[in-house]
Amino acid sequence: MSVLVVADHRRGELRDVSYELVTAGRELADALDGELAVAVIAGDTDRFAESLNRPGVDRIYTVENGEEFDNTVYTAAVTELVGRSGATAVLAPNSVNGLDYAPAVAERLDIPLVTDAIDFAVDDGLTVTREMYGSKVETTVAVDGDQFCLTLRGGEFAPAEGVGEAEVESVTVDHPDSGARVKGFEEVGGGDVDIADADVLVSVGRGIEEEENLEVVEELAETLGATLSASRPIVDSGWLPKNRQVGQSGKVVTPDVYIAVGISGAVQHVAGMKGSDTIVAINTDPNAPIFDVADYGIVGDLFDVVPELVAQFE
């Protein structure tokens, strides 16, 4: 009953979730009374293995395979390492790359998959806690099966720290020719402003409804001497450029004050702004998850509240 955790790395760096996976993996291994193995696939495997050698890790498998991510290789390698380690639980990151191989691994091994786990418990079997309906509710999901694959949401477990005594083993994995090949990378979101530098952000979401209505928040930003940022749908619609997007696939911001106007607070948005000193939310929906991270909340219509707020400063 051992656990295999798959490290997440990109362009030469381990991503934070890798260390969180070690913590979660150790907890799961303890609950299953088994060992914890970590898989490091591609990239600078030796250096990554050294970094991931944290207390509680019993074994680290390294699979050399060039620099870049490759879902053909990851799927083959994880499947092979599950066999080799006898793992009954596979724990992968719920990252963009994790979601590019974990479902294929579960399918190949014919084992149940639960994605975006925020917690889990082992009693009679595995029960996973995860959100639904845009973070408005939490659920528990019981998994029927002795073997399973989970993807873990980042930021839910503390990163593992310290130096451990894991054995490192280099493994060669056979795989077919890659069906998806990385040709390069592109940084997006350069341009006129860096929202990460702003002390005060007025951030606008889909609650604004129409492009014309942006004036309402632009005026607030101007009045407060703040910078305007946005949630994803505003950028997807082309109403503001990509460099204004806050969140998982945009910028991570930590201003003194973040004012979220008509933003629901989806997990991918919150990932980019939860470190702000003071968070203010204005939203008509009292159940909007943004209120869970806010310090000050107004349940109200932005079209009423924002003009009143502007008036207060004029």
Give residues 240-259 in contact with ligand FAD (rule: CB under 6 A): 245-250
User: By CB under 6 A, what part of segment 262-301 binds ligand FAD?
Assistant: 262-264, 266, 268-269, 272, 282-285, 288, 301
**Residue 206 found at the interface with ligand FAD (CB under 6 A):** yes
Q: List the beta bridge partners of residue 9.
A: 14
**Residue 91 found at the interface with other proteins (CB under 8 A):** no
Between the alpha carbon of residue 265 and those of residues 62, 104, 130, the distances in Å are 38, 30, 16
**Residue 203 found at the interface with ligand FAD (CB under 6 A):** no
- Torsion angle of alpha carbons 145, 40, 12, 150, nearest 10°? 10
d(CA 22, CA 5): 7
Interface pick for other proteins out of 251, 260, 261, 273 (rule CB under 8 A):
251
- Torsion angle of alpha carbons 72, 75, 80, 82, nearest 10°? 170
**Residue 209 found at the interface with other proteins (CB under 8 A):** no
**Residue 134 found at the interface with other proteins (CB under 8 A):** yes
d(CA 285, CA 143): 33
CB 233 within 8 A of CB 254: no
**Residue 154 found at the interface with ligand FAD (CB under 6 A):** no
Q: Which does 251 bind (CB under 5 to 8 A by kind): ligand FAD, other proteins, none?
A: other proteins
d(CA 142, CA 179): 34
Encoded one letter per residue, x for contact with other proteins by CB under 8 A and - for no contact, window 47-86 reads ----------------------x-xx--x-----------
Q: List the beta bridge partners of residue 93.
A: 152
Core vs surface per residue 21-42: b (16+ CB within 10 A) or e: bbbbbbbbbebbebbbbbbbbb
Q: Kindly tell me which of 47 and 136 has the beta carbon lying closer to ligand FAD.
A: 136
**Residue 42 found at the interface with ligand FAD (CB under 6 A):** no
Closest-by-Cβ residue to ligand FAD is 247
d(CA 246, CA 267): 11
**Residue 160 found at the interface with ligand FAD (CB under 6 A):** no
Q: Provide, rounded to whole angstroms, the least separation between the CB of residue 92 and other proteins.
A: 11
**Residue 213 found at the interface with other proteins (CB under 8 A):** no
Q: Is 66 helix (H, G, I), strand (E, B) or coil?
A: coil
Q: Kindly tell me which of 75 and 248 has the beta carbon lying closer to ligand FAD.
A: 248
Determine the size of the site formed for other proteins (CB under 8 A): 100
One-letter-per-residue 3-state SS of 10-30: ECCEECCHHHHHHHHHHHHHH
Q: Kindly tell me which of 46 and 313 has the beta carbon lying closer to other proteins.
A: 313
Q: Which does 207 bind (CB under 5 to 8 A by kind): ligand FAD, other proteins, none?
A: ligand FAD
What is the contact surface with ligand FAD in residues (CB under 6 A)?
134, 205-207, 231-233, 245-250, 262-264, 266, 268-269, 272, 282-285, 288, 301-303
